[in-house]
């Protein structure tokens, strides 16, 4: 097959946003769309089997292998930053947890200058993108490309945990993506018929069935080519050769929160002084490029289980083999779920208008790399704050596209970070001490029941917190008069023509929960802007806020 050599649109990156945009741009047969992706195929059991989620993000075949700079406030630890290098991007290697974010997140976006991105504006796009299976409501979609499902929650620990949260004074919630995020209840996942349902499956592969859309894999994008301020083509390396493909209409940059700012910087778009220092001529001085980097941190709060009912019984070679075979032939059994089947969101204090702490419940004590503690049966909650004020940056080290950029998160550098994180741990302990968990909850594996003082908990956080792998914000969207913004509210890159940017890098502030769903929504909405279409009519649904949030923590 010969590759389009002068398409209408080039989409850089086939991830959560890029695949979505390619699908929507290609709906009109008149548009030729070329997608450039450095990674390759997503065929293989390690990607497609939901329970194997820890494998692909540790495999160089599927992951860019980025590692962030050492962090002073984490006792010098360097945190890995997995990013998908495969069709479907990070939606092909993530934990498959589907969280839209809270209405308050999008209200903040709109109030901070991202006009047209309030909850009422984005809800119709969340509805357009999904088919929610078995939990329809006025909030949900039922005709979209993305299949969203729920796990069976068969382990009694799920119900016991939610019951304990009720005993602690919190709400249950039937649908955290619907009427009320605040509370605890069943988790949504991008799993369908027992397999991962990435944007490669939902959007890219159906789009590629049409003759007007192509994807070129193994294409490492170096930079965008400009004539004056107009984006006219893309320079990339393919199988050792440097190539340039020109475009008739627009270029859409959807390479993610690490690679999108890196490509802009190599193209001469970014902080002028920093670019000149690296020998790059400045096309457009946009000091916000690469700044405003945000992420979620979490700790694994692990407890011994007094009954042998956890997934620990499957963590031996024979059981793994049997689970793998059951999944391979029947797409069922423990391998057919990501096991994150219960989630929760709470406010850490009164006078906070919407949740700022997230809980993932898991009926086994295990690390993200798949190793279990020696204690045997246990369970854990992943818990951490949602809206840290700490900000980092992404900066290329040179003009060489093969050299990874410098990634500095500045984790836990804001004065509010440690107090909020300590609250998250203490509120977790309170839930775990409730009557409903008495038959199951033994001593803490970590932090350990003896760690109670502020200084002890702070040291535990420094040594044990992990990234939830939600980097975002590095090409902030907002009012074009704001010098820190990179992208206008229609996803155009400021000061340039024929160049759009749409992925998690444009988030003004990180959203509650996992970022895959908001990234897909961004692609859906951006595609209407790119095509010059009228955006979907705003929703009239009023978002939920706890009626007594000013005076009560729960």
| Catalytic site positions | 470
Element (H, E) at 417: helix 417-432
Strands of the 33-36 sheet, one edge to the other: 213-216, 33-36, 9-12, 250-253, 499-501
Q: How far is CA 53 from CA 44, 63, 140, 310, in A?
A: 12, 13, 26, 18
Distance CA 212, CA 4 (A): 9
Distance CA 45, CA 491 (A): 36
Q: How far is CA 9 from CA 475, 524, 525, in A?
A: 21, 16, 17
Q: Following DSSP, what letter does each residue of 483-518 receive, concatenated?
A: TT--B-TTSBBTT-BSEEE-SGGG-SSPPSS-SHHH
Distance CA 120, CA 137 (A): 16
Whether the ω angle into residue 494 lies within 30 degrees of 0, i.e. cis, is no
- Nearest CA to 17 among 84, 106, 89, 86? 89
Element (H, E) at 114: none
Contacts of 169-172 with C-beta under 8 Å, sequence gap 24+, read 169/554, 170/344, 170/346, 170/431, 170/554
Surface-to-core class of residue 471, CB atoms within 10 Å of its CB (0-12 exposed, 13-18 middle, 19+ buried): buried
Distance CA 258, CA 277 (A): 20
């Amino acid at each position: 097959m010969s590759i389009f050599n002068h398409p209408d649109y080039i989409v850089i990156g086939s991830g959560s946003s890029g695949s979505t945009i390619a699908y929507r741009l290609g709906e009109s047969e008149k548009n030729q769309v070329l997608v450039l992706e450095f990674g390759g195929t997503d065929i293989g059991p390690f990607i497609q089997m939901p329970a194997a989620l820890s494998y692909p993000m540790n495999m160089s075949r599927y992951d860019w292998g980025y590692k962030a700079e050492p962090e002073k406030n984490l006792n010098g630890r360097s945190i890995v930053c997995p990013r998908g290098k495969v069709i479907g991007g990070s939606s092909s290697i993530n934990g498959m947890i589907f969280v839209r974010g809270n209405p308050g997140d999008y209200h903040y976006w709109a109030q901070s200058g991202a006009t047209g991105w309030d909850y009422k504006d984005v809800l119709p796009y969340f509805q357009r993108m999904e088919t929610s299976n078995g939990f329809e409501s006025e909030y949900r979609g039922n005709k979209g490309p993305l299949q969203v499902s729920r796990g069976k929650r068969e382990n009694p620990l799920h119900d016991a945990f939610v019951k304990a949260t009720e005993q602690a004074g919190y709400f249950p919630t039937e649908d955290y993506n619907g009427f009320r995020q605040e509370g605890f209840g069943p988790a949504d996942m991008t799993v369908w018929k027992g397999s991962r349902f990435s944007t490669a499956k939902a959007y890219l592969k159906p789009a590629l069935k049409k003759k007007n859309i192509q994807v070129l894999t193994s294409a490492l994008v170096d930079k965008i080519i400009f004539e004056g301020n107009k984006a006219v083509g893309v320079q990339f390396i393919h199988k050792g050769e440097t190539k340039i493909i020109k475009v008739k209409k627009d270029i859409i940059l959807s390479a993610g929160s690490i690679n999108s700012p890196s490509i802009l910087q190599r193209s001469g778009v970014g902080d002028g002084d920093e670019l000149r220092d690296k020998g790059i001529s400045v096309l457009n001085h946009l000091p916000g490029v690469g700044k405003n980097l945000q992420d979620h941190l979490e700790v694994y709060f692990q407890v011994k289980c007094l009954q042998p009912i956890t997934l620990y019984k499957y963590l031996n070679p024979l059981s793994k083999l049997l689970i793998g075979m059951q999944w391979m032939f029947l797409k069922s059994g423990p391998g057919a779920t990501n096991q994150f089947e219960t989630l929760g969101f709470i406010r850490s204090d009164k006078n906070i208008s919407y949740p700022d702490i997230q809980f993932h419940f898991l009926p086994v004590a295990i690390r993200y790399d798949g190793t279990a503690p020696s204690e045997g049966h246990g369970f854990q909650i992943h818990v951490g704050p949602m809206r840290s004020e700490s900000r980092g940056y992404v900066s290329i080290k040179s003009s060489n596209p093969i050299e990874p950029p410098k990634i500095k998160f500045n984790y836990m550098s804001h004065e509010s970070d440690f107090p909020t994180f300590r609250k998250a741990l203490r509120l977790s302990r309170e839930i775990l001490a409730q009557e409903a968990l008495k038959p199951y909850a033994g001593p803490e594996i970590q932090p350990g029941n003896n760690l109670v003082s502020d200084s002890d908990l702070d040291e535990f956080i420094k040594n044990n917190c992990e990234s939830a792998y939600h980097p975002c914000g590095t090409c902030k969207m907002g009012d074009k008069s704001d010098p820190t913004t990179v992208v206008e509210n229609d996803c155009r890159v400021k000061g340039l023509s024929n160049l759009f940017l749409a992925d998690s890098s444009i988030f003004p502030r990180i959203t509650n929960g996992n970022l895959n769903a908001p990234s897909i929504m961004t692609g859906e909405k951006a595609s209407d802007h790119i095509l010059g279409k009228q955006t979907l009519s705003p929703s009239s649904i009023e978002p939920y806020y706890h009626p007594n949030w000013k005076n009560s923590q729960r």
